[in-house]
Every structure is written in C-alpha cells, then in structure tokens.
Structure 1
Amino acid sequence: MRIFDIIIANWRRWLAVTLAVVSAIALSSCNPTQFKSQAAQVPQLVASTLGDPKTFNYALNQASPNVFAFIYEGLIGENGVTGAIEPALAESWQISEDKLRIVFTLREGLKWSDGEPLTADDVVFTYNDIYLNEKIPTDVRDVLKIGESRALPKVQKLDTRRVEFTIPEPFAPFLRTTGLVIMPAHSLRESVKTLDSEGKPKFISMWGVDTDPDKIIVNGPYRMASYQTNERVVFERNPYYWRKDAVGNPMPYIERFIWQIVENTDTALLQFRSGGLDMLGVSPLTFSLLKREEKRGDFTIYDGGPSSGTSFIAFNLNKGRKKDGTPLVNPIKSRWFNTVEFRQAVAYAIDRQTLIDNIFRGIGKTQNSPISVQSPYYLSPQEGLKVYDYNPENAKQLLLGAGFKYNDRGQLLDANGNRVRFTLLSSSGSRTAEAVGAQIKQDLSKIGIQVDLSLIDFGTLGEKLGNSFDWECYFGGFTGGVEPNDGANVWAPDGGLHVFNQKPQPNQSPIIGREVADWEAQIGRLYIEGAKELDEAKRQAIYAETQRLSQEYLPFIYLVNPLSLAAVRNNIQGVKYSGLGGLLWNIQELKIEQK
C-alpha cells in the first residue's frame, strides 16, 4: 500500500504483511539536522517510517517496511520499475531444458560486511540450514514449497562460486524464489546447530532488535551503524559491497542513510516542510498542500502509478480454541463472521467511492483483487471479476436472507436476538487510517451494525494478529508484486500469513478445533497448481479463478488502490520511483548534489 505509504523497497519481492496501514516515509520530532552538524561533509539521506523494526533476523521477519532491503541481497534482484529479474550476488545462471535445475555462478570476490569471503557455502547454508530447516519457523519456506507434495528444492555446492538448485517437478516461479537474501554462514552456523533447553535452534533468538548492530553481518549496500528504540536506525555504506558504477566508483554513492522512527504522519509533514527530511510519502490529504509548495520547497512530487499493494478489512474466521478451551473469537460473533452473506453485506455497505473522493481526494480507484494491477495475472472487473459497488439495500437483503433481522430502532440483530457489534482494529498514528475507520464505522451503522473503532500501536496490533490471534476485524494491507506465488504464505491454509484463519506456527501455542473452509482449501490448491503450470495462458486462468473465489467469499474486503506519490528534494539524483518498487529500491544509485 502506499498511503498506506509502504516503502516497497524489498526487491526480493516476497509478500510481507503490512500491519501499519500508513507505514509512511515520514519523519519524527527528532530534528535530523543535528546529524548534518555532527557530520557536515558526509553525504546522507534522511527518510523514515512508522514503528520500530521488529527483528534484524530476515528469516523470522513478517513486517514491512523493514531494514532488510537496505542491508541484504539475494542471488538475483528485481527491477523496481519493470519487475524484470536482474543479476545480484549471482552474475549469471543457467536453467536446464526441463526447467528442473538452475546453476548459479556467484560474482568473483564477494565479501560480507566484516570482510569475510561470501561463497557458495553461504548460499547452501542459507537455504539448507535456515530456509529449508523445519525447526526454524520462517514464512520463507511457504514460498519455496512445490506442488501437492509441498516438496522443497535441493541445494548443493558445485564449487566455490557455483550452486545448483533442483526441484522434483515444474515450478513456474522457480527463478524468482532464488531472490531470497543470503545470510552469513560464518556468523550464524553455530546458532543453527546449537539447541536450547526446549530443543529449538538458538538461531530463533539470534539477531533480535536488542542485538548490537555491529554484530549484524550483511551483504547489501548498507550496514547498520546504530539503532535507538523509538528514534532512528542509522545505516552506513558497506565498504565491501560488490557494486561499482561504469567507471569503477564504489556504490552506494550516499555514505549514510538515516531512517527516523515516527509516531504520526503530521509530524512528518511538518519536518519535511521545514527542510529536515529529504523525502516524504505523499498522501491524498497532503497532496494539494505540497503541490503548491514544490517550487518554494525545492522538491518534486513523483507519481509512481497505482500502488502495488492492497488495503482491506478482514474478519477473524478462526473457529478454534486455545488449549484451555477459550474460543479465539466469541462464538456468537464467529457465526456472523463465517457467514459469507454477512461478509458480502459488509462489502456492499462500504462506500468505497466516497472513501476515494473524500479521504483520498480522488487520487485512486476502488480495489477488488489481491493481485497487483502491475501483474500479468491481475484479473480486472472488465474481465469478469466480481465487485461490490456501494449498495446498502442489497446489503440489508443479504443479511435478512441469512437470518438476521432488524429491531424497531433499525439495529441489526442475529437470529437469536444478539445485537451485531464488533471491534475494528487499526494502527494508530495516521489521520488517513483514522478517517477510513471512521467512515467504515459510519457506513456500517447505516445497515444497523455497530462498529467500535480501536486505534492501537503497531506492535500491539502485530502481537494480536500474529501471536495471540485476539481480534475480531482489522484494517491493514499487504505489499504486492509481479509473481502471485509470492503470496503463497497468505493463501496456503497452513501459511505463516494466512491471517484470516491463522494456523499457529511451530513456536506458538496450539489451536484446538480450527477448521478450513472448502473455498479456502480450493484457493490453496489453485496456488499450488498455478506455481507448477509453465504455460502462461493456463497460469493466468488459474490465478483468475483464485481472484474470483477471493471476491466471492471475501476473506479480505478490499478497499482502495491509491496512486503512489512521493516528494523528494531536488538535490537527490537518480530517483526511479514506482508503485511496484517504491522509492528506495535503487538506493545504491542515488546521489546527493552538493549545493
């Protein structure tokens, strides 16, 4: 999402849940000009985000934005404008005729940020010991699972610079899955081998946000220099980064990158307008103001086209119970949420065009699909995708047909006379999120539903969604990309981000009595079929069916697809902003023109 201003700088492009619906490129009340006085001659870029990092361990990450796009690379990368696959740590690769084998050749002389050599051993370790290790609870494994058997690729070293990946059956996204970041064997191998008192690898507790940044060994354009909770992450140029420009100059060009941590977007706007911030995600609420100030403020507003992410509300459909017998969701409300007509009625009752006109200032379109509009697999309404244009009367008829009823005050009751009322959670710190939530509350009141809007901090929301599962409805979004299979961990019933009916992960408490609906299982099967189908026309047909099912059964009720807009100081050169890649996907190419 963009206003919803997510920095989709992760060119590795696997879908990560966005719990902060406005993870804006913003700035906190700490004045970044202090850094300029402390290091006057050091070229530096100042941007920021809502919320602290959740982990420095890539394999365990579930949140976006995150630090990994700046500090790590994989064998391949993805162009943030075109979506094309490009060489990264691997200078080349060869795919066998039967599409079951890829041999990668690493660049010569690769090094980690501590100067140690980066070799094929690191690649094999990353995949075999971390991503494919069943003892490590990583969402990455969901993306690598192949076919009905859910088999995993085999990875072996051929020599110091060559690594072979093999799979048992055709897997269309095979090449793109090798863009996962490579992690350092010399720093992490011992933690994978060593088990704690519960028999879990020590790796699971490695590289949390309390780790000294100097201990985090990386291979990307930057390494972390410092992290101060609720304040900032400071990145410095990785002296061993492999990229050089056409004339041999080391990259990235900008020596220091400062990521401020903010609590709200109002402060961000003030700081940008006062000149303390180099870039800002532009929301529809601030577009007109900033557009008038472009010349005076010496900045340019870039239009990156439609956002590649999604925004939605989702209901907790999990029918399970905690091990003490307590239901995750009140059984009365669970029956409402698991009634498809109820979800469809809610979809019809939300006036998305008014959301666009009033809150998004006309800068966006209604959203109907989980697949990014930039993807060749996107199914448009013109091609037959079901839509839920505002129709409160239709919503009421669906509810009455499903056994709900109205009292003499127009309040919606279920068949047993219970008042229909639920809590909608959203991340705090954004006027846009508050406004969207307020309108949804107002819209649903028109069909007799009472919504209690609860704005909570990023960390608490993440805990509820990903650990305690203690929630009824939430407003959030996912990042997007070209390859649908990058969302396999969202749509597979046992996926780590199957948030609307979450299965507990290996390190979490069990859930008793969880059920998987037929349509839910069917979407999961279709994602498996789509991944193994090599014929592009057939793949498109398969993913079209997943979108039809998603819109029929509405595990996510999609809202708005805004334009991606960002304001950048004119002395920042090399910007290639897009809705697909975001603002900082090519951070290694950015330059600061000295005035």
Structure 2
Amino acid sequence: MKKHFNCSAIAIMVLSCNTVFAAALPSGVQWHSNMDEPLFASPEAQFGGTLRTYLASFPQTLRSVGPDSNSGLRHYFMDGVPKLAARHPNTGNWIPQLATAWAFGDDNQTVYFKLDPKARWSDGEKVTADDYLFMLSYYRSKDIVSPWYNDFFTNKIESVVKFDDYTIAVRSAIKMTDDELMLQINLPSNGLQPRPEHFFKPKKDANNDGIDDDFVRRYNFKSEPTTGPYYMDKVKKGKSVTFRHVGKDWWGYSNRYYRHRYNVEKVRFTVIRDNDIARKHFEKGNLDTFGLVLPSLWHEKANSKPYQNGYIHKFWGYNQVVQGAGGLWINTAQPLLDERNIRAGVTYATDFDGMIANVLRGDYARKPHGMGFGHGGYDRSDNTPPAFNPQLAAEYFSQAGFDKIGADGIRVNSEGQRLSFAITYGFQPHTPRIAYLKEQAKQAGLEFTLNLVDGSSAFKYVLEKKHDLAFINMSGGEIPAYWEYLHSVNAKPQTNNHTNFRSATMDRLIDSYDREFDLKKKQAISHQIQKIVSDEYLIVPGYMVPYTREGYWRWIKYPTPAMTKHTEVMFSVVDLATFWIDQQEKEATLAAMKKGKTFAPVTVIDDTYKL
C-alpha cells in the first residue's frame, strides 16, 4: 500500500498520523469540460518529418528542477507539456488537457479534477492520481534543491487529495476566485504537473519523501518520462539533442483540442554557438526555421538569394500575449541609486522612445509601465511611460547635489564624484540599443557604461545583485506577480527583486494583495503597487514585442489564420505547434533548387490579432 503525506480537510479519513485516503466526493459537485470551443489547428496537417533547429549552448542539465535547470530545453520537460487544463488561445476559456473535467468547491480554495484515463507517460505507464500525490512530495523535497518550488508547493498549494485513481482535489492555501485558482494550478512554468512515481526509485532516501538524497547528481542527465507528445530520444553531449514523437497513438489525440497539432515526428537541436553561423546554416537548408525578430535580421539580412528565389519565406504574426515586467531595473542598494532624485534623473535621461524609433526602426512598442502590460483591470488605466526629458533629469540630478558639469560633460558633485552607472545586459546584438541610451543620456550629464555579460551569466550577475542598472525583460502571467520583484524579504541575492527595493508600505500592500479574495479590491491594491513603482522610479519601462517574426523553408506549412492571440513562437513544438512539414513540397523544392528553378518571394503578415 502506498503512503502519502498530503493531509487535507476535504473528505478524508485518517488511518494513522501520516496515511490518508479519500472518502466520497462532496454532493452537488458541478463538472465543467468546455468541449465546444473553436478549433485552431488545420485538418490538412500532415504527420512526419524532422524539424531541424539549433541551441546556442548545450544545457548544463536535463533536469526540469534544481540547479541550472532553467535552460533552453526546460520548455520540453516542463513548461510546454500538458497541465490539468489550459486557456483556449483565442477565447480565453479553460479547456481540458490531462483533466477531462473540473469543478469548484464552495470554500473558494478547492478545485476537483477528473483525470483522463487515456493519459499515458511516454514509457507507456498510466497517469493516475498517485502521480499527483507523489508530485507534492517531489516538489516539497529539499533533495531537489529548488527553494522556489519548495516554497510554492508548501505555501501556495495546501494539499492534493485522491478520491480514486482518476479523481483528485487540489486545495489552495488561500481563498481565490475560480479563475485565479485555475491559473495558479495550471501556470505553464509552475503549474501542477504529475511526476512519474514509477520512474523515481530512490536508493537512499533519509527523508522518506520518495526522492533520492543525491537527486541533483543522479538525475542530472537522465531523461524522465513525459505526458507530452515528445520525449528525449538521443543526446550527444555538447553536440545535439533529439526529441521523438510518441506516435500517432499519443493519448492526447483523443482530445479534440490536440488534434492536428504536434505534427513533426522528430525535433533535432544542433548546438551552434554563434547566431550568425546558425543563420548561414539556415540559408543553406541545414535548418528549417530561424527567428527574425531583430530588426536588423528582418529588414537587412533576410534578403539573400534563398529569400529572393522564394525558397525561404518570411512570416510576421501579431499576438496579444501578456508582457512581463522589464526595462531598466535600478538597483536601489547601490551607492547614489538609493536616492529617489537620482533614480528620477536616470528615468528621464533614458531615451527608450528614441531607441525604438532610431535603432529598432519603429518595430517595437513602448511598455506603459515597468511592471508590464496586458493584465486587464490589474493595470492602471493612466499608466504612461515617462518620456525622455534631459532638462527635467538635470533638475533632479542638481537636487541630488550633482549641479556641476565636468570637463567631459558628465555631472559631478561637490566631492568630485562623477554621475556614472553601468548598464548590465546579456545579448551582444543589444549593444547598439544600449549604446544609443548612452549617447542620449549625455544630454543630461549622465554617463552610462556598457557591461555586456554573455548569456546566462548576465542573469546570474543580476541575481547576485552586482548590477547598477539591469536591461532585462521578464515573462509575465495574466495576474501580475509582485512579491518576487518588490517584497523586502526578496531584497537579497538569488532572487528576482532586481531593484533591491525595501519598503514597509510596499510589503503591506503586497501581503494584502496576495491574501485578497475580492477581485475589485485586489485590482485596486495592484494599482497602488504600480503607482509606488512609478513614484519611486524603480524600473524605467522598456519596450515590448507583440509579435513573432520568423523565416522558414517553403515546405513548412501552417493553418490560416496562422496566429492565435497567444501564439508566441510560430514554429515551435512547445507552443501551440499547429505547423507541419510537407514532404512532397520539400522534395519538389530541393529538386527545383538543383535545376536552378526559382519561385516568387513570399512575405506573410498575419495581423489578425494586432492591437
């Protein structure tokens, strides 16, 4: 008999101090399935072929949790695999994934789920309620060395209860609206995902939680079973990773919303460390798709012979994806930046609008607020990004004692200290953008220096709070997250409080926000929090990119319209994955290229969901 340590107040009978089993479901439970929402994939889709893409670096681990797990492949292990339910990408209504139906308790804390009995792990084992009970032990275990997940599944999720093999209840630690409960349970990055209990067979388990004491080392490069359509098939360390489709009999295809999606049979990632080299491989036909979001790529470099000859097509599709917090994060723990007047001066001396117009060709849009955009009633209606105003910036700097101009044009105070701050960023193509900010800031007597720290090391540098200013955009959910970014508890290394801001008033608001059940009151608190962020000049709002731009060889096909409101990447099997490979078209194209036959150039712009 399996023992689980997930006590709950929901219809349980206690056998001993730590072992529980469920009695009957409460009477009057009303189940929801939403099986009549519109479809968004194409019945013309073909199954088969290999999508050839690339990674800039080989992942440091194949684990989905624990140290170094936040890599480019984590989407395949965690974020992109089925949850219990998901938002329909256009209507926003909840639709089934691993659950076939759900119901809400009267306590505003509990959601009941009927699991799909057809669901299988990629190794063929059934997905059952026991995998969700084990999930809670897994995420709460200290052995996974993942404090964030330990905290979330201890302090946000109170319990998971099993009623039978295919019926469970999830109880939140706090009261929420029905929609908020579903969001918390089904978030892409940290939603409730079953864990394959049959796969984890610990050799040493001193805590008796079902997890190896040496979990991090033991599972560093082991691929665990998945409920998604793709499992890891081959790994050549440092060179490539290949995912293979479970097959046409994947359990998900019994769900109408999964039909005609995830159409490629394999996905092969080759490690190509330089983006320009990767682009050249793409134009030679060694890769099937390539991202063209950068203006220099779309407007300049995506005009070579393969494009002119119609072998490669260009796609620009707009979306309405929520934009997370981001821009220029000001570290208030650094000297001078702890003063509001200095932060205000930095804000008005930062010319994001000019960067967008002059460096980014006007392609991007300005974020209305540093905490993001697209949260509906949670966002203030009067959010407006501060305009570049070097004269106003100079006034703030003067009030802070920097009222003299040095020989080099940079302001100094009475002690001869120069007004200079470094901007930390992690992507070399962003250098012209930061360089533009640097030149414009001189008008206010402010010096920006460029601190390029390559790749993931840049984020680590910021997590350690070594930065003055950090040029970072974070992902975001439908409901703004404030605790991780702004609470004093998080004003320390290895957290997302990139501003190091400490305020008792802010802490009280965030605590109230996290506890508030009434939607209008919660949104009102959100407005107060956003106003403090603006008034304290903590984040200079940056830009947002409400679209995807990609190049693809003409054998890649997709529905019409191609985009949904929430399509972030068109040719990825961890997004909605409605595209497919037309093998006949591929053979015909390759034959035409050998004969020198060309086609008309093609640029597709899907503005169905352009705001």
TM-score where L is the length of structure 2: 0.74
Find the partner of 2:521 among 529, 538, 553.
Answer: 538
Equivalent of residue 295 in structure 2, options 265, 280, 284: 284
Q: Tell me, yes or no, if the aligned pair for 1:132 and 1:152 is still in contact at 8 Å.
A: no
Confirm whether residue 338 of structure 1 aligns to residue 330 of structure 2.
no
Say if 1:317 and 1:373 are closer, same or farther in 2 by CA, change over 3 A.
closer
The answer to whether the 8 A contact 1:421-1:451 is kept is yes
Q: State the percentage of identical aligned residues.
A: 17
- Secondary structure, counterpart of 1:166 in structure 2: strand
Partner of 1:314: 329
1:84 & 1:281 partners in 2: Cα distance? 30
Output the CA distance in 1 between the equivalents of 2:147 and 2:87: 22
Please give the alpha-carbon distance, in whole angstroms, between the structure 1 residues aligned to 2:505 and 2:55. Answer: 37
In the alignment, is the contact (CA less than 8 A) between 1:94 and 1:103 conserved in 2? yes
What stretches of structure 2 of length at least 5 have no aligned partner? 1-46, 586-611
Q: Which residue is 1:5 aligned to?
A: none
- Structure 1 stretch displaced more, 383-392 or 549-558: 549-558
1:572 maps to 556
The CA deviation at 1:257 is: 0.9
Q: How far apart are the structure 2 equivalents of 1:51 and 1:520?
A: 39
Letter in 1 for 2:158: P
- In structure 2, give the amino acid aligned to 1:444: A
SS, match of residue 176 in structure 2: coil
Q: How far has the Cα of 1:49 moved from its partner?
A: 4.6
When Rg is computed on C-alpha atoms for both structures, the one with the higher figure is: 2
Partner AA of 1:312 in structure 2: G
| Equivalent position of 1:174 in the other structure | 181
Q: Which amino acid in the other structure matches residue 516 of structure 1? A: R
- Asked if 1:438 corresponds to 2:435, the answer is yes
Whole-Å separation in 1 of the counterparts to 2:514 and 2:137: 22
Q: What are the within-5 Å matches in structure 2 for residues 181-330 of structure 1?
A: 181-188=193-200, 190=202, 193-194=205-206, 201-208=213-220, 211-212=221-222, 215-228=223-236, 231-239=239-247, 241-244=250-253, 252-282=262-292, 283-289=294-300, 293=307, 296-305=310-319, 308-310=322-324, 311-318=326-333
Contact 1:100 1:169 in 2 (8 A): yes
Amino acid at match of 1:426: Y
Distance apart, 1:191 and its partner CA: 7.5
Residue-by-residue CA offset, 1:498-533 (whole Å, 9 max, x unaligned): 23256xxxxxxxxxxxx832354255335414xx32
Residue 400 (str. 1) matches residue 398 (str. 2): yes
Unaligned runs of 5+ in 1: 1-40, 319-333, 503-514
Which of the numbers 452, 456, 459 marks the counterpart of 1:455? 452
Q: Which amino acid aligns with 1:106?
A: L
Once the two structures are superposed, residues 111-134 of structure 1 have per-residue CA deviations (whole angstroms, 9 ceiling, x without a partner) of: 222222221111122124315869
> Aligned match of 1:43 in 33, 43, 49?
49
Aligned ranges for residues 464-503 of structure 1 at < 5 Å? 464-466=461-463, 468-485=464-481, 488-494=483-489, 497-500=495-498
Counterpart selection for 1:59 from 43, 56, 65: 65
Shift of 1:161: 1.0
- Name the amino acid aligned to 1:360: L
Q: Distance in 2 between matches of 1:479 and 1:574?
A: 26
Q: The residue matched to 2:253 in structure 1 has which SS? A: coil
Partner of 1:419: 418
Secondary structure at 1:480's aligned position in 2? coil
CA distance in 1, matches of 2:489, 2:250: 37
Counterparts of 2:238 and 2:540 in 1: how far apart (Å)?
Answer: 32
Please give the alpha-carbon distance, in whole angstroms, between the structure 2 residues aligned to 1:578 and 1:109: 28
* Alignment partners' CA distance in 2, 1:170 and 1:372: 25
User: What is the number of equivalent residue pairs in this alignment?
Assistant: 509
Name the SS for the 1:452 alignment partner.
strand
* Contact 2:131–2:196 (Cα < 8 Å) also in 1: yes
Please give the alpha-carbon distance, in whole angstroms, between the structure 2 residues aligned to 1:274 and 1:280. Answer: 12
Letter in 2 for 1:74: K
| 8 Å contact kept, 2:506–2:529 | no
Q: 1: CA distance between counterparts of 2:483 and 2:58?
A: 26
Taking the aligned partners of 1:251 and 1:375, their CA distance within structure 2 comes to: 28
What is the aligned partner in structure 2 of residue 68 from structure 1? 75
| Counterparts in 2 of 1:249 and 1:365: CA distance versus 1, 3 Å | closer
Greater RCO (CA < 8 Å, at least 6 residues apart): 1
8 Å Cα contact 2:231/2:244 also seen in 1: yes
State the distance in 2 between where 1:205 and 1:545 align. 45
CA distance in 2, matches of 1:377, 1:141: 30
Deviations 1:75-99 (A, max 9, x none): 2233445544322111111112332
Q: Using the TM superposition, give the Cα deviation of residue 108 of structure 1 relative to its aligned residue in structure 2, in angstroms.
A: 0.5
Q: Which residue of 1 aligns with 2:582?
A: 593
**Contact 1:300 1:570 (C-alpha < 8 Å) held by counterparts:** no
